[in-house]
A and B are shown apart, each in its own frame.
Chain A
């Protein structure tokens, strides 16, 4: 991978929640988050707030990958993110990936999904807008 930040920076928060890259296939970065007390809401259920953190990292990782070839030195600024919760997350591994809906000169729109056993039955989705600041 040429210049620029790692797809998933090794931050204390990511380490605290055990969030890692599960794999990269067809230019899509998939993250995983293990189930632990630290991400529990009600007993044996996933806390919605922890899914938000996972989504943010999935959005950023996929946007960094999309920019890595043409604009590896671009800076990304978050504008907003809306999370929709669909199903309760259970005591399982949670995965998240994201799709670049549109990557323009300065604005990126990214759609993300989180799931556990079946990607076609997501537990939550998110849509994020971000600013892309390219030095060139």
Chain B
């Protein structure tokens, strides 16, 4: 994994200097994102992909599959990051609502991969759609739709 050249901070002067692939460095804090082990995989203008390796302590089924709890967390995180990707910068915001459609259970011991695209951005609201799979993007385990809110405003 490549090392970022700087450590992003939450200070407002850094809000526009983020790049999606170095935002993982932001997750130096010992928090939920760090705990579940999600990491940056790829991005485009308005979308991002995150990966989540399989781990024994995240398992919720008898046959050793991930989710659904960690799947929801991964989708929430990926959707949130897609907004920052579209903004090319960080903005504090909160999930307003998030809907997850469970298409099928992930396979035992499979890693998860989530994709999210911020398809609409207004001053205070960001609209995102995403999905997650366990190896084959044409056979997703879940889809997601989320709305995020920034009371400060995503832009001037």
Is A135 interfacial (CB-CB < 8 Å)? no
Q: Say which size band chain B's interface belongs to.
A: 20 to 34
CA of A80 to CA of B99 in the docked complex: distance in angstroms? 7
Given known pairs A52-B72, A56-B68, the reply for A85 and B95 (CB within 8 Å) is: yes
Chain A 1-43 against B: per-residue CB contact (8 Å), 1 yes, 0 no? 0000000010111111100000000000000000001111111
Q: Considering the complex, give the chain A residue whose CB is closest to the CB of B38.
A: A49
Is B76 interfacial (CB-CB < 8 Å)? yes
CA of A95 to CA of B119 in the docked complex: distance in angstroms? 34
CB–CB A12/B59 < 8 A: yes
CB–CB A49/B77 < 8 A: yes
CA of A76 to CA of B66 in the docked complex: distance in angstroms? 17
Q: Considering the complex, give the chain A residue whose CB is closest to the CB of B30.
A: A37
CB–CB A52/B98 < 8 A: yes
CB–CB B32/A79 < 8 A: no
Q: Which of A57, A78, A84 contacts B102 (CB 8 A)?
A: A78
Chain B 82-109 against A: per-residue CB contact (8 Å), 1 yes, 0 no? 0000000000101111111110000000
Within 8 A of B (CB), among A80-113: 80-85, 88
Chain A 46-80 against B: per-residue CB contact (8 Å), 1 yes, 0 no? 01111011101100000000000000000001111
Binding site for B on A (CB under 8 A): 9, 11-17, 37-43, 47-50, 52-54, 56-57, 77-85, 88
Beyond A38-B35, A41-B31, A52-B76, 9 additional contacts (C-beta under 8 Å) are A12-B56, A14-B60, A15-B57, A16-B57, A48-B98, A50-B69, A53-B69, A53-B72, A83-B97
